[in-house]
Structure 1
Amino acid sequence: MTGVHDAPSGGHDVAIVGAGAVGLLLACLLAQRGMDVVVLERRAEPARTSRAIGIHPPGLAALDAAGVGAAVRAEAIRIRSGVALSGGRLLARLRFDDRPILALPQHRTEALLRARLSTLAPGALREGSEVVAIAQSRDGVALSTRGAGGTTAVRARWAVGADGIRSPVRQLLGIPMEPHRGMGGYAMADAPDATGAAATALLHLEADGIVESFPMPGGLRRWVARLPAPEPGMTTEALQRILDERLVEPPRLPAEAPTSAFVARQRLAARFRLGRIVLVGDAAHEVSPIGGQGMSLGWLDAVALDRALAAAAAGDGDALAGYERARRPAAVRAMRRARWNMAMGAPVSARRLALRLALVRALAVEPGRSAVTAAFTMRGL
């Protein structure tokens, strides 16, 4: 339920719903300002499932601002180049020497952010606290949480929904998600890296669909294959067959390699703000993970919202509206880039594949190379 009631007295400056990468980073930024922040997380313990790994230059700058950039660099792999191939033949190479993309499993990045928040604001993270109701007045927000100890009321001047694609906060507010173009099915698995290309992302452009791979810490590499159609499940054996069919030198996936299938789609919240409640990250925009920019995009939201909340606390009544005006267009731009990435990897006929490969070769020289490099490193978002 959501509604308007008398202003909550006391409480926190900001209540953040969701202790994922975006919610934790925002909490660190606000705590560094001296703001009283509480983070409400439904899960009783951190997730360790295979999720995002890409940390782009703007995302790394956000991590630096939160005080964890050095720790992330110490654990991450630097991706310094991207190579496009077809049939085992080199088509193009892009270098990211001046703006490398880092790869680190999301659960490790979140662990570093969680440790940082514990130092800045001990006790701010409340795990096992599910938000079941939210209400607001002109000068405050009241949230009802359910956990092992029963129902608890949390009061704050502002609240933030950083609770993911399915965002209960967004649903409680009745904010719909608007579909945008770009959809496809994919399968992925992490396996030991035997490519000899430890600092390089490999993009295999094949008629049956793209196969992408990215280096990871621990001598691993993530393999992602476009599927002809979305599939509800995927086995390691089935993904191995796909890789065998498409690649000249396919990897050998261990039988125990965790394998998953997912549908990449794009949606945008009809609004990013309702009164004193604001949406960030996946709660505000579902951007295709192809290209790996969703997590860094959410961190850019958090950096912008940190500044907006500080301005609002100082009396700027337009600050939160300004956040929405800036971040909605950025999300739309990210969706356009992701849609292009998905289109370039979709299954095609032999004739269309030849045209696609010619375009890739053309984009490997100036001025196309600079534009593609800027897109991959998230300039302009």
Structure 2
Amino acid sequence: MGDADSTDGSGATASAVASATSAAPAGGLDARLVVDRGAFSLDVALTAAPGDVLALLGPNGAGKTTALRALAGLAPLGDGHLRLDGRSLRDTPPEARPVGVVFQDYLLFPHLSALDNVAFGPRCQGLSKAEARALAATWLDRMGLAGHASVKPRRLSGGQAQRVALARALATRPRLLLLDEPLAALDARTRLDVRAQLRRHLAEFEAVAVLVTHDPLDAMVLADRLVVIEGGRAVQEGTPGEVARRPRTDYIAHLVGLNLYKGHADGHTVRLADGPAIITADDLTGPAFVAFPPGAVTLHRDRPTQSSARNVWRVRVAGLESHGDQIRADLTGELPLAADLTTVAAAELDLHPGVTVWASVKAAQTHAYPA
């Protein structure tokens, strides 16, 4: 199921992690997942109330899939606990857990129709064939697939197969729904439509849903809370807005499109350990992060003398690439950073790898916050 896990060397410390061990909800999920796989170990605490959608976000090899497998009972816990609605599932076999799973490749039974794929779980729970098929028909109708009940998986589009897989998982009335990269197999246009449909279905789901993804847009759109995992540990947790506004690792900053630095704040100045000082609009004292978007960076061929920007650095163009309708410049030098500019501006500056330019950022366009 998904990626193999390996240590990513992020070096994140426990002090940089938002607490994931708050009081467990009366119902819902309360887990500390500890899995030892030799060269890789996972130790992540997760809590979620009924109705919550929790997204596990992180790079390949971070431990997201191992966490999902532990919740499903497919990876045994070496330590920790797993409680769902107050009931321990630690020693409960996978088939006896009130858990529904939507796999990355959906894993629909190729020889069964869409209707019988959805009816499979209810049949395993003891419903008669007629009862299970009636329930499956109801779920297909809710997914907008009533006209595809007799269709085999090979004749379904990617979006239709995803909805059949979701219906199959929900038809068993799970108390925990696990979604393993549920949109990864879709093309860009289909992904947009299915993401909107999935958001609606998850909003109606009354139990806990846990979504594993490496796509920040999927996480931001679908989840109520994010847990970012790197190297088998949670490095940040919060609402999508909180995580996007205050990234705490380079990985998260890259995902949300920010330049991120760590240093020591003294008033409006943050001095970096291995770099220059950055002047900010925020007044802080102590360890601090500073972040600003690539669009806040202005490039000049000569050192600016008329600019009101208080931050000016001499940098070298390391690379250029298209980024939407703009050009993103990868810059090294006094302060490594990324800058976004229009194609016209890049041409006027005659930007190319190796050229030296000056980068400026206004203090008001930076955001500093405690580390």
Instruction: Give TM class, smaller chain.
Output: under 0.3
Structure number with higher relative contact order (C-alpha < 8 Å, ≥ 6 residues apart): 1
Q: TM-score, normalised by structure 1?
A: 0.22
Q: Indicate the structure (1 or 2) with the bigger Cα radius of gyration.
A: 2
Between Structure 1 and Structure 2, which shows a larger proportion of helix residues? 1
